Structure 1
């Protein structure tokens, strides 16, 4: 477990944590508040299977993992489902744009997706940084 919580000493990692955590936490909450537009209804519209299950499941994952990222608790572990969410989101919502409108239209439409994907990958690689609960817990373990 100590390797999952291992992190670097970078003080600037908190900027990426704030960006990724706030966006995912907010999006997860909105999947419940605006279920027809952003949750179950949206998942049904784009043709995902079992939208009644997937909408709340994805929303819950986004809220829980977003909160963990904000706290810097189990940051690397929390980044994994967020990366999966972004890969599925990009594949299911941006492929049609790419096919219909071309590369640049797809890149424009997916700019937030890319930021969340790359931010989550950064956190998977680097961990929570200097101001994280991971660092506080990890510094207490002897190697």
Structure 2
């Protein structure tokens, strides 16, 4: 029988992955040079736009398939903390950082708890025998 915690973490992992994949893809589709210019206009080095976009795309895909969930979630948490402090905080809670705070909470939750149900990482590395018990029928 599937465990509710595993199902919940799976839903959070896929949702967070899709959101970040969409944000990263949008940076490239909208012209990464526009994002570079925006980063520079707020006082950040332009090359960071490339790093952020790549982390969002690759990390989003990794979360969707369940590979490196804790590492990717930690990277997302760092990106979100930076976004909240540098950009969103000044706009206030509702018009600024509420959405980012939700994404930060999801990232921290996945970093702490992980998500091995239906994950490629668990399939490849099979490190947690107890998780395997939850992913099979009883």
Please, what TM-score do these two structures have when normalized by structure 2? 0.79
Structural mapping, 1:1-143, within 5 Å = 10-34=6-30, 35=32, 39-48=35-44, 50-51=45-46, 53-97=47-91, 106-108=92-94, 109-139=96-126
If each structure's helix is expressed as a fraction of its own residues, which one has the higher value?
A: 2
- Which ranges of structure 2 fall in alignment gaps of 5 or more residues? 130-138
* C-alpha RMSD over aligned residues: 2.1
The runs of 4+ residues in structure 1 deviating greater than 4 Å are none
- Which ranges of structure 1 fall in alignment gaps of 5 or more residues? 1-7, 98-105
Q: Give, in whole Å, the separation in 2 of the partners of 1:43 and 1:125.
A: 30
Please, what TM-score do these two structures have when normalized by structure 1? 0.76
Describe the superposition over 1:115-138 as per-residue Cα deviations: whole angstroms up to 9, x where unpaired.
211111111011123221233234
Q: Give, in whole Å, the separation in 2 of the partners of 1:95 and 1:78.
A: 23
Structure with more relative contact order (C-alpha pairs < 8 Å, separation 6 or more): 1
Matched-pair contact (CA < 8 Å) for 2:36–2:48 = yes
